Amino acid sequence: MSDLRVISWNVNGIRAACKKGFGDWLASDGADIVGLQEVRALPTQVPKDVREAEGWHGHWAPAERKGYSGVGLLSRQAPDAVDTSLGAPEFDIEGRLQIAQFGALKVANGYFPNGSGKNRDHGRVPYKLDFYRALFDKLESARAAGEPILVMGDFNTAHREIDLARPKSNHKTSGFLPVEREELDRWLQNGWADTFRHIHGDVEGAYSWWAQRGNCRARNVGWRIDYILASPAALELVKDAFILADVLGSDHCPIGVTLDGAVRG
C-alpha cells in the first residue's frame, strides 16, 4: 500500500499564494493531505483553480474577521468528519483549527496565535498559551487511548536555540519567550513527538519561516516555527519528515511527513 504524504503550509494568504504558483505546486507535489494556515479568505474567495481542484476535497474554516487568519484542508480522500471548534468563542471566531478524521488517523491543522499585541508587546501571549492548552486538552483522551494523531501547523514558537538563526537576540521576542518554549516542552514531555527532530536529530539551519526583509531567506536567517507533532501511535508510522525550503510563494515554506501506507487501513 502506498505511503501517505502529509503537508502543512502557512501560505500567508491563499489568494496571494495562488498568484505565486500555489496551484501548480499542489498539482505536482504528490501530497495526499495538505493543511493550510493563514488562508485569509472566505471559502468563496479561494481561487477557483484551488477551490475546485480536480481530485481534491476542500474544507475551509475562515475567521469571522475578513482577511484574517483562517485554515484550510485539502485531501485526496474526503475526511470522515471535520471539527473546527475548541468550545470557546474567543478561539473559534478566529478560524484557527480543523480536526479531520481519515479512517483511523486524526489530523489537527492549527494556526496557533502569535503572542505579539497591537503595539508589538506581549499582549497576546496569554491568549496564545490558552489556545495551546485548549487544543492539548481536546486531544488528550484520544492520544491516551492510543489513537494515531498528527498536530500540524504554524505553532508560532521556535522550541530550542537550534530552531532559529539568532537565538541570543530573541530571548525577549514573542515566539521565543521562555513561557512559550515551556509550553512546547509540556507537549513533548506528555507523549507528543516533534517528527522533524525525531527523524533528523539536531541538524542545524533547518527553518520554515524567514522575515521579509534584509534578504533573510536567501541568507537563511530564519526560524523553525512550523511543526508536525505525532502521538505515539502515529510516530510508529512516520517514515520521513522534511522541510521544503526551496518551495516559494509565502514567507513560510511547506513542511511534511511521510506515513506508512498501513495508516490507510
Active site residues: 154
- Alpha helix ranges (H) inside 30-88: 48-51
- The crossing angle, in degrees rounded to 10, of helices 125-144 and 178-189 is 0
H helices, E strands: number in the chain: 9, 14
AA letter at 8: S
152 vs 253: CA distance, rounded Å = 13
- Quickly count: other Cβ atoms within 10 Å of residue 40's Cβ: 22
Which DSSP string corresponds to 96-152? Answer: -EEEEEETTEEEEEEEPPP---TTSSSTTHHHHHHHHHHHHHHHHHHHHTT--EEEE
Which among 46, 24, 32 has a CA at the least distance from the CA of 79?
Answer: 32
